[in-house]
């Protein structure tokens, strides 16, 4: 089989890039995707269209490492793109199923399951798990040992160590969401003021929950499944409903506390000082519950 003609490939890819992001103007092969205004989802669409037009298959590892059209041309003409300067040091066996964008950083032991994606400018700590289809957007800072469930969306949030973001939850950052600016341009990160969500250490955001921009979920708090959270959640608080309201307290192990502020699962005891809950000194010194 004859090798593909580089000029034809170049023209095909440039044409596809122009249709994916037409407002970027003329597209040159050496233009970086960032300069063209292409985010990671734009690049997935671009590669899909190139594959349809050429019949070639472009692996996720090439998509994740490519920084410009020239990188795709290089791969499709049988050469290996030099992406060593743009890709973070990560275990290929742990990340091959997902998409790790150029400029994204993940820690040792972090696993990306199928179609999980970490966008450029996001940082994920060590020993985390990103489930199928999970998305960690630009500006997000994820701590160590965080579990992000299938199809959860994290947009620019700060998530502390040992937290859990359950399947289909969404952490939002844009307080005035619009698809375009008043002059008709597609809205980009530079066109709005971010209000990042903060999730404290050990906290859990339940399945299908929505966290509004700027909200802080305190350490070891528990947001019930399907809750819509529009105001801050105290540490150890249990909130539920739409809009979410506090309906109890939870232990570090995740079980609701009794009226006497004791965990029925592990027997940890807590004290309430004003609106702040904290485990007793006896509880923290015991080994009955892993905090």
Instruction: Tell me the per-residue pLDDT of 106-119, one tens digit each, with 9 for 90 and over.
Output: 988 899 999 999 99
DSSP state of 281: H
- What is the rounded average pLDDT of the residues 159-172? 97
End-to-end CA distance of the chain: 61
pLDDT at 69: 78
- For the beta carbon of residue 213, count every other beta carbon within 10 angstroms: 21
Higher-scoring residue by pLDDT: 18, 38: 18
| pLDDT score of 291 more than 50 | no
Domains plus CATH for the chain? 6-76 (1.10.1200.10), 90-250 (2.160.10.10), 254-291 (no CATH)
pLDDT, greater one: 189 or 191: 191
Which residues lie closer than 8 Å to 31 by C-beta, 6 or more apart? 68, 69
**Measured between alpha carbons, how far is 172 from 214 in angstroms, rounded to an integer?**
8
Say if CB 32 and CB 67 are below 8 A apart.
yes
Cβ atoms of 122 and 137 within 8 Å: the answer is yes
- Whether 216 shows a pLDDT value over 70: the answer reads yes
Least confident of 61-70, 163-172, 205-214: 61-70
State the pLDDT at residue 71: 80
Q: CA 109 to CA 91: how far, in whole Å?
A: 7
Burial of 187 (0-12, 13-18, 19+ CB in 10 A): middle
Which letter, b or e, does each residue of 220-246 get, where b requires 16 or more Cβ atoms within 10 Å of its Cβ? bbbbbebbbbeeebbbbbbbbeeebee
């Amino acid at each position: 089989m004859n090798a593909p003609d580089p000029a034809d490939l170049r023209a095909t890819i440039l044409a596809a890039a122009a249709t994916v992001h037409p407002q970027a103007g003329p597209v040159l092969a050496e233009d970086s995707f960032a300069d063209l205004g292409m985010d990671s989802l734009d690049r997935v669409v671009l590669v899909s269209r190139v594959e349809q037009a050429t019949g070639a298959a472009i692996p996720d590892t090439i998509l994740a490492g490519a920084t410009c059209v020239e990188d795709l041309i290089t791969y499709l003409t049988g050469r290996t793109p030099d992406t060593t300067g743009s890709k973070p040091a990560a275990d290929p066996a742990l990340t091959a199923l997902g998409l790790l964008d150029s400029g994204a950083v993940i820690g040792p032991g972090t696993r990306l399951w199928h179609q999980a994606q970490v966008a450029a400018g996001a940082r994920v700590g060590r020993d985390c798990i990103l489930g199928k289809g999970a998305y960690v957007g630009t500006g997000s800072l994820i701590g160590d040992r965080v579990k992000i469930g299938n199809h959860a969306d994290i947009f620019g949030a700060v998530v502390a160590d040992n937290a859990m973001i359950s399947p289909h939850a969404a952490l939002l950052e844009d307080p005035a969401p619009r698809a375009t600016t008043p002059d008709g341009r597609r809205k980009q990160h530079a066109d709005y003021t971010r209000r990042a969500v903060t999730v404290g250490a050990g906290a859990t955001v339940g399945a299908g929950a929505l966290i509004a921009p700027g909200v802080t979920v305190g350490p070891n708090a528990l947001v019930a499944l399907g809750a819509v959270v529009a105001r801050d959640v105290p540490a150890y608080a249990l909130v539920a409903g739409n809009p979410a309201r506090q309906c109890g307290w939870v232990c570090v192990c995740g079980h609701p506390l009794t009226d006497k502020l004791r965990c029925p699962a592990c027997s940890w005891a807590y004290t309430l000082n004003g609106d702040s809950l904290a485990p007793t000194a006896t509880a923290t010194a015991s080994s009955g519950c892993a905090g």
